[in-house]
């Protein structure tokens, strides 16, 4: 069977094949180490440096950019290191670095719309995080799993995963950025479940947690982009889902400002789309059209299925305005983008 066809055709399932993935990874981790080849902290440092490079590629170019190269590097270089001899400290550091790489592979697949593949990577990343003994990293992986579950129509599962991540953080000196993310994602799930007050409270808890993040905070590299551009964008979606248009627009603008300053096109596109929907809810088609055009421009700069989905959702939201010239103009521009 063609491997690429199989991977892209795989679908997300709440009851995923945890057993097979766990058994495979345990087998990989437990293979007898090669005594003639040792792993050193310098090897782990090299893996971490590559993680930073590929994470920036994902943030600024989208999940469709660089994933093939990262998969090749991880399969050919990172995973084989796990079968070499090392001290316990080096072993844990290597498992942590491998978990970060595997999470990023899952996140890139998620952002590229390959949800079955993404779920498998995230499950494997969670097992590696457990091997590393780093609860904060495991909580971060659970945040990614929560995000995916809610996006794919399983907010009850998304909420449970976010809560599990918060429970895991209680066993370690907390990562305030990760905690803020988990609360934000719980808010997204609660909004989808129709729990308006719970969603608002979760957003407040997210903001309280993030207020503790300072330039001197010892946050991990993977937490670097859990920031106002990201969090405010998630909060905008939460308030949009509970029908609070004005607050959704406020958070969307905050996200847009931070994303623009960082030149983060994907996050900017998604938040511009949220702002456009807020304008549509106010029946302000002209403002929605302007925000929609900015969404299209930013989406054209990245390879991201989530940005594309934001464009498609915006097209649907404009349907009640019928054959208005601004709707026709947006639809034509969107058609050209989607065809490309």
Instruction: Quick: pLDDT tens for 312-327.
Output: 999 999 999 999 999 9
Same domain? For 60 and 86 the reply is: yes
4 inside domain: no
Residue 304 lies in a domain: yes
Do 144 and 122 lie in one domain? The reply is: no
pLDDT, averaged across the chain: 89
Say how far apart CA 213 and CA 198 lie, in whole Å: 24
CATH number at residue 142: 1.25.40
- What pLDDT score was predicted for residue 83? 84
Q: How much is the average pLDDT of 147-174?
A: 91
Query: In degrees rounded to 5, what are phi and psi of residue 37?
Result: -130, 120
pTM, to two decimals: 0.87
188, 215, 242: which is the final residue of a domain? 215
Q: Is the pLDDT of residue 153 over 50?
A: yes
Q: Residue 301 has what pLDDT? A: 95
Same domain, residue pair 28 and 70: yes
Q: In the chain, how many domains are there?
A: 3
Number of Cβ within a 10 Å radius of residue 332 = 10
The secondary structure element, H or E, covering residue 187 is: helix 176-192
- Over residues 292-314, the mean pLDDT reads 96
How many CB atoms neighbour CB 77 within 10 A?
14
End-of-domain residue from the set 111, 131, 151: 131
Rounded to whole angstroms, what are the CA distances from 302 to 12, 66, 111, 172?
A: 24, 12, 11, 36
Domain boundary among 215, 250, 278: 215
Instruction: Please check the confidence at residue 18 and state whether its pLDDT lies above 90.
Output: no
Tell me the CATH number at 264: 1.25.40.10
* Percentage above 90 pLDDT, the chain: 71
- CA dist list (Å): 338 to 106, 318, 324, 334: 24, 17, 21, 6
Q: Does one domain contain both 195 and 281?
A: no
Taking residues 105-124, what's their average pLDDT? 93
Q: Of 41-50, 81-90, 140-149, where does mean pLDDT reach its minimum?
A: 81-90
Same domain for 154 and 125: no
Q: Is the model's pLDDT at 234 over the cut of 60?
A: yes
In a domain, 5, yes or no: no
User: In DSSP terms, which residues pair with 188 in a beta bridge?
Assistant: none
Q: Is the domain of 144 the same as that of 86?
A: no
Query: Count of residues for the chain?
Result: 340
Section 126-132 average pLDDT:
93
Residue 1, domain member (yes or no): no
- Which position has the higher pLDDT, 65 or 114? 114
Do residues 54 and 91 both lie within one domain?
A: yes
Q: Give the whole-angstrom CA distance, residue 288 versus residue 274.
A: 10
Indicate whether 124 and 99 sit together in one domain: yes
DSSP-derived 3-state class of residue 84: strand
Task: Note down the domain range covering 198.
Answer: 134-215
Same domain, yes or no, for 98 and 179? no
Looking at the fold, whether 190 and 289 belong to one and the same domain comes out as no
CB 161 within 8 A of CB 146: yes
Q: Per the domain annotation, does 44 fall within a domain?
A: yes
Quickly state the pLDDT bin for 260 (edges 50, 70, 90): very high
For residue 77, the 8-state DSSP code is I
């Amino acid at each position: 069977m063609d491997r690429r066809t199989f991977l892209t055709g795989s679908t997300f399932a709440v009851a995923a094949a945890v057993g097979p993935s766990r058994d495979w990874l345990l087998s990989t981790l437990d293979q007898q180490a090669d005594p003639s080849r040792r792993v050193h902290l310098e090897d782990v440092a090299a893996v971490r440096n590559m993680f930073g490079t590929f994470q920036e590629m994902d943030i600024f170019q989208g999940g469709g950019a660089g994933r093939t190269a990262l998969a090749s590097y991880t399969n050919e270089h990172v995973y084989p290191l796990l079968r070499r001899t090392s001290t316990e400290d080096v072993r844990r550091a290597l498992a942590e670095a491998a978990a970060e790489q595997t999470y990023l592979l899952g996140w890139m697949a998620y952002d590229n719309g390959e949800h079955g593949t993404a779920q498998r990577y995230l499950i494997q990343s969670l097992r590696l995080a457990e091997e590393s003994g780093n609860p904060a990293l495991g909580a971060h992986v659970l945040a990614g799993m929560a995000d995916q579950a809610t996006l794919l129509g399983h907010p009850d599962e998304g909420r449970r995963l976010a809560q599990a991540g918060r429970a895991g953080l209680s066993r370690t000196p907390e990562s305030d950025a990760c905690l803020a993310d988990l609360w934000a994602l719980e808010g997204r799930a609660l909004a989808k479940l129709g729990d308006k007050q719970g969603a608002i409270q979760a957003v407040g808890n997210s903001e309280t947690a993030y207020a503790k993040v300072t330039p001197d905070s010892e946050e991990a590299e993977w937490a670097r982009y859990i920031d106002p551009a990201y969090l405010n964008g998630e909060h905008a979606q939460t308030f949009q889902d509970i029908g609070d248009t004005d607050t959704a627009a406020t958070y969307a603008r905050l996200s847009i400002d931070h994303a623009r300053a960082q030149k983060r096109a994907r996050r900017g596109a998604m938040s511009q789309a949220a702002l456009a929907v807020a304008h549509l809810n106010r029946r302000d088609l002209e403002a929605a059209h302007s925000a929609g055009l900015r969404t299209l421009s930013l989406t054209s700069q990245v390879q991201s299925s989530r940005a594309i989905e934001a464009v498609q959702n915006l097209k649907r939201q404009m349907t009640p305005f019928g054959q208005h010239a601004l709707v026709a103009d947006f639809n034509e521009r969107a058609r050209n983008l989607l065809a490309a």
